[in-house]
A and B are shown apart, each in its own frame.
Chain A
Amino acid sequence: MLRSKAIEAIYPELEDKLVITIMGACAQELYDLGHKENFFYLQHAMGLASSIGLGVALNLPHKKVVVLDGDGSVLMNLGTLTTLARYRPNNLTHIIFDNGSLLSTGGFTSHTTSGITDLAAIAKGAGVPNVAKATTPMEFIEAVADAFEGNELSVIVAKVEAVGPDHFGMDFKLPENAFRFERYIREYVTG
């Protein structure tokens, strides 16, 4: 499965949610489908996309929050799965695109490449109530639909190919993304 296709398949569903992505390829693939003011791209600070999602979700319990994460980023902050599980906001869906690769920085293999490390098992062991694995687009779409309809903290580990965009760039500065995301929430969510 290609991550770009997986994101494209759920893109219409993201319209009414708050979306936080990791850096690089993943961020670009979402951006290329069309930026929305409810998207925040964390272009550095590996591991913290899910922590941001947690902070947003706990404070806006009536808004669905989606985190688009990567295996390398999650491996850098495995504790986040335990914190998510402890506070388990039922409005948070944490999607981990596992490409077995540190793709955005030269494509080196990550610890999940060989299949030895199972992020879904780690999420389960951490105590996340709803954990799903997806290897095909159909499985992915079903798992995401299930998570969005359900009322439970969900982690979806989606096995994807280590392929990314051939270009990078966004039409705003990083702080501008933060300012606009915060303003969107103020105007359309809490306001």
Chain B
Amino acid sequence: MTVSLDNSKAVYQGIKDAGIKFITALPETWLVYLLQLADEDPEMCLIEVAKEEEAVGIAAGAYFAGEPNILLMQNHGFLAAINGIVSLAMLYRVPLCMLIAHRGHMGEPYPWHTQGGIVTEPVLRALNIPFDYARDPQKVGKQIREAHTYSLSSLSPVALMLSRDLMED
């Protein structure tokens, strides 16, 4: 099992096609190529945080400044960011477009990811955060555009879950 470079490129192209030039992120294995692509792209501003909740604040700041942006993290980072999502993004109606690596679900060999994998979707539902799964490299670009558009129109957090089918070879 390895991370898919080709599909990471498809995701990155989707991010670019959505007009995103600002990414706030915290690394994770499935995101390594994506982060490398962002890092090497002179047109992209990549901000890496110490903890994912910070990314919610930075993304809100970028939004206030008029900069189309996304967050990139794994689902445990999403779980770590919840108070920021609730008490900043939802409370103030600030859009957030989150691309979340969905670790710890079907096929997961690593025990440490499993509890987060199990609870992520129920937590998204409990928070009423619209979400979708990205599984197909042909479709992920459109899904990113749509997630971003929807976050802006709904003034809400929106999550696109990057699945194992997409991120692994």
A-side residues, CB < 8 A to B, are 20, 40, 42-60, 77, 79-80, 82-83, 86-87, 174-175, 177-179, 181-182, 185-186, 189-190
B150 part of interface (Cβ distance < 8 Å) = no
Pairwise interchain contact B65-A185, C-beta atoms closer than 8 A: yes
Tell me the dominant secondary structure on chain B's binding face.
helix
Q: A51 touching B93 by the CB < 8 A rule?
A: no
Interface residues of B (CB under 8 A from A): 22, 24, 45, 47-51, 53-67, 83-84, 87-88, 91-94, 155
A178-B93 in contact (CB<8A): yes
Complex Cα spacing A10 to B41, Å: 40
* Residue in chain A with minimal CB distance to B60: A52
A-B CB contact pairs (8 Å), 25 listed: A45-B83, A47-B53, A51-B49, A51-B53, A51-B54, A51-B56, A51-B57, A51-B60, A52-B60, A54-B47, A55-B57, A58-B47, A58-B58, A59-B65, A59-B66, A60-B65, A77-B51, A80-B50, A83-B50, A83-B58, A87-B47, A175-B92, A177-B92, A178-B92, A189-B65
- Apart from the given pairs A58-B22, A80-B54, 8 other A-B contacts in the complex at a CB distance below 8 Å: A44-B87, A46-B87, A47-B57, A48-B56, A56-B64, A58-B62, A59-B61, A59-B62
